[in-house]
Amino acid sequence: MTNMIDLIGNTPLVRLKRASEETGCTILGKAEFLNPGQSVKDRAALFIIRDAVKRGTLEPGGVIVEGTAGNTGIGLALVGNALGFRTVIVIPETQSQEKKDAIRQAGAELIEVPAVPYKNPNNYVKLSGRLAAELAKTEPHGAIWANQFDNTANRDAHINGTGPEIWEQTQGKVDGFICAAGSGGTLGGVSMALKARGDVKIGIADPMGAALYHWYKDGELRSEGSSITEGIGQGRITANLEGVEVDMPYQITDAEALPLVYDLIREEGMVLGGSSAINIAGAIRMAKDMGPGHTIVTVLCDYGYRYASKMFNPDFLRSKDLPVPGWLETTVDIKV
């Protein structure tokens, strides 16, 4: 008999047909949208909670506090429910309504705050840390701060899960791995697991507005532009990114990435979110640079449904000067 926790991880690898045909490589996506909370962040949520329980900082009935773009909050709320903990989630108000709804529907307490830069003391991450410290004093069973950015139990989920799974699923025939970074847990953990097993090139697909492309290219934390994608785009070296070796950095615009996921819906029947779009665009660039015949793995982080009000909203897309997928606006006139 299995339980909800057993459904986390061991996701399949899906061959991305058009990306593979276009590059002459085998481009595979790890189907993380199939996790019970429908994103890659279920893995981090489970490892962070287990680690806190093991270290004795989280006791039954205790509260988990986190600042998140949403998916970590959904994962923590659901895993927390399954294991007997409450969750309080701090989210920047700019994140999609669909993610906020999913957090509330999971029974977590949701606190929406203005989106301000990390250096501001009222940034959602810093606020969640202060809130956890306060609740730890008043909650009868205590409270912890999950701290996904600088808690390397996050990266451990990918060192022990995602990375070895990719190695086994490809029977060690993996030449490259690439993804974007939010906390850096996925990129950091998978890259460490794969580099420990073989000669695997690591790429980063960095959205506009993030600083890691320039960091890995010329050692400078510098950013330009912006992106509508959520959950990715880091401006600093988090603890989960420390010591991570990136061989091939790429900077990806929304205009390059989003059409790929729109085409994937129509041609391959998968509805993916914006960070998956950035990842697939990065995998295609990496494949072109490595040349035909290579196997490159990337991450399909979550479903596009989680961003319906943005990615599938023509008015929103137009307001950002982004291409609108044609079929969203055509009505078919079929006489019956």
* Site of interaction with ligand PMP (CB under 6 A): 39-41, 69, 71-72, 180-187, 231-232, 273, 275, 301-302
- Count of beta carbons in the 10 Å neighbourhood of residue 323: 12
Rounded distance, CA 96 to CA 116, Å?
16
What minimum distance in Å lies between the beta carbon of 302 and ligand PMP?
A: 5
What minimum distance in Å lies between the beta carbon of 297 and ligand PMP?
A: 15
Q: DSSP label at 160?
A: I
C-alpha angle 232-206-259 in degrees, rounded to nearest 5: 85
- Quick one: CA torsion of 316, 322, 326, 331, rounded to 10 degrees? 10
What minimum distance in Å lies between the beta carbon of 50 and ligand PMP?
A: 17
Q: Which is nearer to ligand PMP, 72 or 251 (CB)?
A: 72
- Count of beta carbons in the 10 Å neighbourhood of residue 114: 11
Tell which residue, 63, 77, 72, has the closest CA to residue 4: 77
Element (H, E) at 66: strand 63-67
What minimum distance in Å lies between the beta carbon of 231 and ligand PMP?
A: 2
Q: Which is nearer to ligand PMP, 184 or 203 (CB)?
A: 184
Residue 41 annotated to the active site: yes
Q: Which is nearer to ligand PMP, 203 or 231 (CB)?
A: 231
Q: Which is nearer to ligand PMP, 27 or 294 (CB)?
A: 27
Rounded distance, CA 270 to CA 8, Å?
20
Q: Which of 30, 41, 100, 310 is catalytic?
A: 41
Number of H-type helices and E-type strands within the chain: 13, 10
Tell which residue, 145, 35, 154, 152, has the closest CA to residue 90: 145
Element (H, E) at 300: strand 295-300
Residue nearest to ligand PMP (CB): 231
What minimum distance in Å lies between the beta carbon of 187 and ligand PMP?
A: 6
Q: Which is nearer to ligand PMP, 34 or 62 (CB)?
A: 34
Q: Which residues are catalytic?
A: 41
